[in-house]
Each structure stands twice: as structure tokens, then as C-alpha cells.
């Protein structure tokens, strides 16, 4: 089915406002709603909460979209907000890791449990058909159910439900550096005994592609937004090692509160790098709120002692030695351009093999 047809039926049934975090399986749907009444929220819990506020102020049912990996972020406001106040929400959930469909390891368990989890929290759910005529009936039934019971309803969206991918072309392309250029430069200028904890999506895959020794990298393939907290703990426990966190703007914003914890702990061997492309590049380049944010001010305000921002190769090469040499908690923003990540490999080793190699390397004397 075309995402456009689906969105038109949603409109027909008065589903006009959208809140969510983008997902690769929902790429063309996200693209269709980009310029509608749509808010891309920092995390999936925020989307549920905004949806509730929308209902409170309009009496209309909002659409909340997400990847199934975002369910964890959403469950608390689903159960302790939407549910107890009887606010109905229509969920559209991308089903990564559907059983028997090839996918990445971080999606296996979540995919297996997706519908069970929804059933467990008493969230009525169905697989969205890819036949538009059936979808019309499904939506009508869902709407009647929500109107009558004031409970939420979820559509689980399988891979290839939406026909054509329309990639968001309206993205920042003004910067000289690509993700690959930035990561290659970091690897060249950081000492060879450094360790890296990288965030979910293209950044981890790029680090994997360009590293000579992947046992120095902890690739946080899932758990979006938590790479910096992992790196923080490692830095605190391995004070003699330099630990870099390679963050993305979408991931950083998803759990921005982590930077306060990092600043309270302030390990001087922790180097926080943000590869800021202003979008969720890994799932279709939908904008984050980065474009109106001044990250250096934010990190400084949070208590980081040194903050830097660069946007060219030359600036990066000039700043980097000082960034790593100083003995204070430091943040470096590198403004980069998004790209389509053609030919970006995925790790061949399993997450547990990555963990084992990383721990061995980290514990080497």
C-alpha cells in the first residue's frame, strides 16, 4: 500500500495529528506526514504525553508512531497516563525483528515479544494489512473501539507494508564533513589505545567500517540514547583509559538528562563527541530539534568544563589535540552532513562476541 493512501484514510477518519519518533520501516509514512500536523519528539514517551495533551485540548484522537524498540520508553505514560485518564491513542508501530524475517540482533527479542508486550499491557493490536481496502475496515473498527471504550489501539506494521520509500530530501547539506570523514579523522588523531562507545545506527556502523581494531569499540546497536551512560561508567571504572562516546543528535536528545549525570561524575578521561547532522539519518533523515539548539551552551550549562564546536575538516584537525589533551570533562560537537550510507557494513560478529572482545581489551594491562 502507498503511505499516501494510508494517510488519506487516516485523515478521512479525523486522525489529523501525529506525534512520534521515526522508524526505518515507517520511512515513507514518516515522509508523508512530515509537513502535516506532526511533531517529532525526543523519545516515544514524550510522544504519548503530547498525544494526551492533544486529546485533552481538542477531544480528538492523536496518532502516535514509533519503532517497536521505543515501546519501553512509551509504556510508563501509556499505563500511568493514557490508561488511567482513559485517553485513547492510535499507535502505529514498526515491527522490527518480526519472527522469521531477517533482521539485526538487537531486534530479535523485542520483535518476538512485541505483540505479547502489547497484549500484556492490554493494548488491543492488529497487524496492519497492506491492502488498502482491508485497511479501511481495520481503521473503522479501531476507531469505533476507541470511541466506545476510550482505550488505545495499536497497528503493528510489518516490513514492506508501505510500498515506496520517499526519502526526505529536505535536509541540511550545508556542512563539508561527512560522518565518514569525521570518524576517520577522529580515529587518526585519537591515540591508538583509546576506547569508543558509539551510538545506535549509522555511527556505529561507520566506526565499525573504519576501525583497524574493533575490539576497542563497544557498538551500542540498540538502546538508543544510552551510549553516553555506558561510556560514563566505563570511564569511571577505567580511569587510566581514554573513553570516547560517539553520539548522534537524535540519540543525545532522546535521553538528554544523562549529560547532567555525566557532569556530576565528571571523569576527565571521558570525551563526549556529538556527530550532529540535525536529523535521524539512520531511519530516513527526519529532523531532530537540533537545528534550534546550541549544544555548546547546553553542555556548558550542564557542567561540562570544556566545550568545542567544529564544522570543517581543518577546524576538527586544529581542535582535536586540545580536546583530547585537556584533563577536564569535554564535549566536542562536529557538524556533519547526512548521507545515504551506501555500502555501510553491519558488524559481522554478534553483540556478545563484541562484548567479550571489548572487555578483554579493556582489561589488558
Residues that bind ligand TPP (CB under 6 A): 21-23, 67, 69-70, 73, 199-203, 224, 248-251, 277, 279-283, 288
CB of 73 to ligand TPP, least distance (A): 5
CB of 200 to ligand TPP, least distance (A): 5
- Residue 90 or 182: the one with the smaller Cβ distance to ligand TPP is 182
The residue with its CB nearest to ligand TPP is: 248
| Cα atoms found within 13 Å of the Cα of residue 105, Cβ hemisphere only | 12
- Residue 143 or 335: the one with the smaller Cβ distance to ligand TPP is 335
CB of 18 to ligand TPP, least distance (A): 15
Residue ranges in the chain assigned as alpha helix (H): 3-12, 27-33, 44-58, 71-77, 108-120, 132-149, 179-189, 202-210, 227-237, 249-254, 258-265, 295-302, 313-325, 351-363
- Residue 32 or 249: the one with the smaller Cβ distance to ligand TPP is 249
CB of 322 to ligand TPP, least distance (A): 25
- Residue 51 or 250: the one with the smaller Cβ distance to ligand TPP is 250
CB of 58 to ligand TPP, least distance (A): 26
Find all residues with CB under 8 Å of 220, minimum gap 6, and list them: 197, 198, 199, 200, 204, 226, 227, 230
The residue among 138, 140, 145, 143 whose CA lies nearest residue 122 is: 145
Find all residues with CB under 8 Å of 342, minimum gap 6, and list them: none
Q: What is the CA radius of gyration of the chain?
A: 21
- Residue 143 or 272: the one with the smaller Cβ distance to ligand TPP is 272
| Helix orientation angle between 3-12 and 132-149, rounded to the nearest 10 degrees | 40
- Residue 62 or 287: the one with the smaller Cβ distance to ligand TPP is 287
- Residue 96 or 306: the one with the smaller Cβ distance to ligand TPP is 96
CB of 103 to ligand TPP, least distance (A): 12
CB of 140 to ligand TPP, least distance (A): 29
The residue among 26, 16, 67, 62 whose CA lies nearest residue 44 is: 67
How far apart are alpha carbons 78 and 85 in whole angstroms? 10
How far apart are alpha carbons 353 and 349 in whole angstroms? 6
Amino acid at each position: 500500500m502507498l503511505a499516501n493512501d494510508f494517510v488519506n484514510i487516516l485523515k478521512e477518519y479525523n486522525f489529523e495529528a501525529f506525534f512520534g519518533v521515526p522508524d526505518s520501516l515507517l520511512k515513507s509514512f514518516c515522509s508523508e506526514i512530515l509537513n502535516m500536523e506532526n511533531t517529532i519528539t525526543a523519545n516515544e514517551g514524550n510522544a504519548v504525553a503530547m498525544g494526551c495533551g492533544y486529546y485533552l485540548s481538542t477531544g480528538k484522537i492523536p496518532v502516535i508512531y514509533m519503532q517497536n524498540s521505543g515501546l519501553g520508553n512509551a509504556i510508563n505514560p501509556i499505563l500511568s497516563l493514557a490508561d488511567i485518564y482513559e485517553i485513547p491513542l492510535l499507535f502505529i508501530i514498526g515491527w522490527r525483528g518480526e519472527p522469521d524475517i531477517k533482521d539485526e540482533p538487537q531486534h530479535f527479542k523485542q520483535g518476538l515479544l512485541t505483540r505479547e508486550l502489547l497484549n500484556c499491557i492490554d493494548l488491543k493490536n492488529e497487524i496492519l494489512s497492506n491492502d488498502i481496502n482491508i485497511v479501511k475496515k481495520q481503521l473503522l473498527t479501531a476507531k469505533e473501539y476507541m470511541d466506545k471504550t476510550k482505550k488505545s489501539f495499536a497497528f503493528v506494521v510489518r516490513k514492506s507494508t508501505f510500498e515506496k520509500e520517499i526519502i526526505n530530501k529536505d535536509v541540511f547539506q550545508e556542512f563539508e564533513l561527512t560522518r565518514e570523514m569525521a570518524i576517520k579523522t577522529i580515529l587518526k588523531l585519537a591515540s591508538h589505545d583509546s576506547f569508543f562507545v558509539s551510538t545506535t545506527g549509522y555511527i556505529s556502523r561507520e566506526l565499525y567500517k573504519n576501525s583497524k581494531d574493533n575490539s576497542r569499540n563497544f557498538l551500542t546497536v540498540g538502546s538508543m540514547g544510552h551510549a553516553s551512560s555506558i561510556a560514563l561508567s566505563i570511564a569511571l571504572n577505567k580511569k587510566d583509559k581514554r573513553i570516547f562516546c560517539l553520539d548522534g543528535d537524535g540519540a543525545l536528545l532522546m535521553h538528554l538528562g544523562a549529560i547532567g549525570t555525566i557532569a556530576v561524575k565528571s571523569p576527565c578521561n571521558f570525551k563526549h563527541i556529538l556527530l550532529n547532522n540535525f536529523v535521524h539519518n539512520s531511519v530516513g533523515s527526519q529532523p531532530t530539534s537540533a537545528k534550534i539548539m546550541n549544544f555548546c551552551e547546553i553542555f556548558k550549562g550542564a557542567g561540562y568544563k570544556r566545550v568545542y564546536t567544529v564544522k570543517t575538516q581543518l577546524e576538527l584537525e586544529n581542535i582535536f589535540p586540545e580536546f583530547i589533551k585537556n584533563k577536564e570533562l569535554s564535549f566536542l560537537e562536529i557538524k556533519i552532513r547526512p548521507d545515504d550510507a551506501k555500502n555501510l557494513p553491519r558488524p559481522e560478529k554478534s553483540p556478545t562476541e563484541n562484548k567479550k572482545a571489548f572487555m578483554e581489551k579493556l582489561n589488558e594491562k
